Structure 1
């Protein structure tokens, strides 16, 4: 399931212009009979904070205070639901379990419930797709026909969800929920698609802290659109030497964003190796940019050697704060950008067979 192979930088955004204060979460989950605990976890600065309450006969009441409204996860046992913590009384009601709960009581949660209702049909389809995939045998999962069938269904559901999300954003320009939906609209957003949606938001939403951060990211997406000249950068390689992107001018270059800890990246690496070996003598190379964690240089280098990645690698070892990743608006990995010899971006986010086909198109001499 190739589209599930992205490791996403989950932005729990929502730093709003509203004031913080006291909140109460009043819940009733008819499907929960035995005593257990409900809790929310959220970050205050660099600290993780938790508020909780016991569930008795399906009912609970969590109380706390927040500095500013934010989207968080409400947990009950191994299940969770996203809610907005904001001043007031938040209601969580379900005839059975948490996943099926209706969230309301406060403005942002009313808006978010509206979105969930709009998405319910496609969400159910995605849940069924996951069940079908997980229940398949190992033999089925290795079948190309099965994989293509799953991918086709997944792509159709994602397209349906994007259409609904765009409708919600357009119909609800005054709520920060729309900004949050836009931030999570796509792993690799297309500027021409998301820019008009952002422009349609109210001034208050766009001028919020999260709105300004998204506008900055949007500028990065525009700068790395297909047809643009790739932004210049310099970062150190495994030996500590500075490597400039411009030093690769004159060749086709695949800027490959990955990390040793990224499972999907490691799954894709053999495909990149295969294409590198096939086309390295035809004016093509790869430049790896790693999002490995601080103090993880050994893991980074070990992965390079183990996977046979015989090309130049750079990193500042800042995890998701990698300066090049931020410059290129990278929010998920693996992700890549294919550059022409003059530095123009000719393709992006191409993996699997698509990478080989694109390189064949560009690098194989035509009769």
Structure 2
């Protein structure tokens, strides 16, 4: 019987089609793998049963928990771009930069802040940057370690030195961003400034970043943060808003126009806030008859705890809240990310100072009202 060329041609087409399909699948598989982040940890002496990874998913911060077995763990996650990841242990919170591929984390449980992290070019850059800032960090650590046991004269000297070191650190960070506009590390330096509420500094550095960096997910997030910060930079006029007093009666901020007003963002569960309240009370008692008042905006979500703290700390000024915690409408509008936070307004409702605490608050009020 003769051969059937037609059938052979069809079979060849079928085989070629299968090969083509397999090639596409293989390419897709390799491409998918290239977008995969794999973090392998080996930390001697780590007794934690789990490690928590905190990352940005392009919309919000997320947390994944992985099990630890004899100090070893593996975490995998699909990533679209390099980003800073937080790793939470029972005794420390460690940041590292990650991108697609395999990241190896090695070290010991008694030195969690000195882990060896390899496999990320951005982390390598961050390690080099940290070394360049080491002299400032060591001097700051020395001051922190010896400040509480120093004499008053030495403490004055330490405060002066700390201010100088902070200015030096700021200048180096600015210089780094200016000279590395295409760096993800630069983006996160800007992010730290923005999260600290420094609108002018963060905005100036953000504008120096390459467009491609600004358009990353984290870059867009910082851009949005700057829009929020623009509402509360020095000289900005406060927007009118309304929230309820303890008894449910609405309080309008426009009612305070014509007075110097301290807006104090706090909460009953905030230790530093509660520690500062006696100082704020002292300022209130001294200047309440001199065209000055205070309004507290609580980031509580429990009315009883809020009311109890007001009574315990003997705060006589107006207090408002919508009992939504950090989702408080006023706090969200102004991008409040940590407390205590304060705004001092002039009689026209413009912000003239922020985050005045301790003696700084009394000095500013004396300058304005004495």
Q: TM-score range by the shorter chain?
A: 0.7 to 0.9
Residues 1:86 and 2:89 are matched in the alignment: no
Structure 1 residues 75 and 241: CA distance shift in structure 2, 3 A:
closer
| Structure 1 outlier segments of 4+, above 6 Å | 44-47
Equivalent runs, 1:189-268 vs 2, <5 Å: 189-268=197-276
Distance 1:189 1:262 in 2: 19
Given that 2:194 and 2:202 are in contact with CA atoms closer than 8 Å, whether structure 1 keeps it comes out as: no
Aligned-pair CA distance for 1:303 = 1.0
Distance apart, 1:168 and its partner CA: 2.6
Residues 193 and 201 of structure 2 are in contact (CA less than 8 Å); yes or no, is this contact kept in structure 1? no
The TM-score normalised by the length of structure 1 is 0.78
Matched with 1:108 is 122
For structure 1, the 5+ residue unaligned runs are 1-17
Q: Greater relative contact order (Cα 8 A, min sep 6): structure 1 or 2?
A: 1
Which is greater in Rg?
Answer: 2
Extract unaligned runs of 5+ from structure 2. Answer: 1-31
Deviation at 1:147, TM superposition (A): 4.7
The answer to whether the 8 Å contact 2:266/2:339 transfers is: yes
- Number of the residue aligned with 2:76: 64
SS in 2 for 1:91: strand
Provide the rounded CA distance (Å) in 1 between the counterparts of 2:98 and 2:186: 16
Does 1:99 find its partner at 2:105?
no
Q: How far apart are the structure 2 equivalents of 1:80 and 1:268? A: 26
What RMSD over aligned residues (CA atoms) do the two structures have, in Å? 3.2
SS of alignment partner, residue 237 of structure 2:
coil
CA distance in 2: counterparts of 1:358 and 1:270, whole angstroms: 17
Specify which structure has the higher proportion of helix.
Answer: 2
Paired residues, number:
333
Taking the TM superposition and a 5 Å limit, the aligned residue runs for 1:33-182 are: 40-43=51-54, 48-54=63-69, 60=72, 62-66=74-78, 70-74=83-87, 78-79=91-92, 81-92=94-105, 97-133=111-147, 136=148, 144-145=152-153, 147-182=155-190
Contact 2:40-2:102 at 8 Å conserved across structures: yes
The equivalent residue for 1:22 is: 36
Give yes or no for the alignment of 1:298 onto 2:304.
Answer: yes
Residue 338 in structure 1 maps to residue 356 in structure 2: no
User: Aligned partners of 2:228, 2:39: CA distance in 1, in Å?
Assistant: 38
**CA 1:331 to 1:151, structure 2 compared with 1: closer, same or farther past 3 Å?**
farther
- Once the two structures are superposed, residues 17-45 of structure 1 have per-residue CA deviations (whole angstroms, 9 ceiling, x without a partner) of x998433335677xx4x575696412587
Match status 1:313 vs 2:319: yes
The question of whether the paired residues in 2 share the 8 Å contact of 1:253 and 1:287 is answered with yes
TM-score (normalizing by structure 2): 0.78
Secondary structure, in 3 states, of the residue corresponding to 1:170? helix
**TM-superposition CA deviations, 1:280-324 (whole Å, max 9, x none):** 1111110111122x2x11111111111111111111222222221
Could you tell me how far 1:343 is from its partner in structure 2? Answer: 1.2
User: 1:359: which partner in 2?
Assistant: 365
**Which string of whole-angstrom CA distances, capped at 9 and with x for unpartnered residues, describes residues 146-171 of structure 1?**
55444334333333332232223223
Counterpart CA distance in 1 for 2:187 and 2:244 is 35
**Inter-partner Cα distance in structure 2 for 1:184 and 1:86:** 20
2:21 aligned partner: none
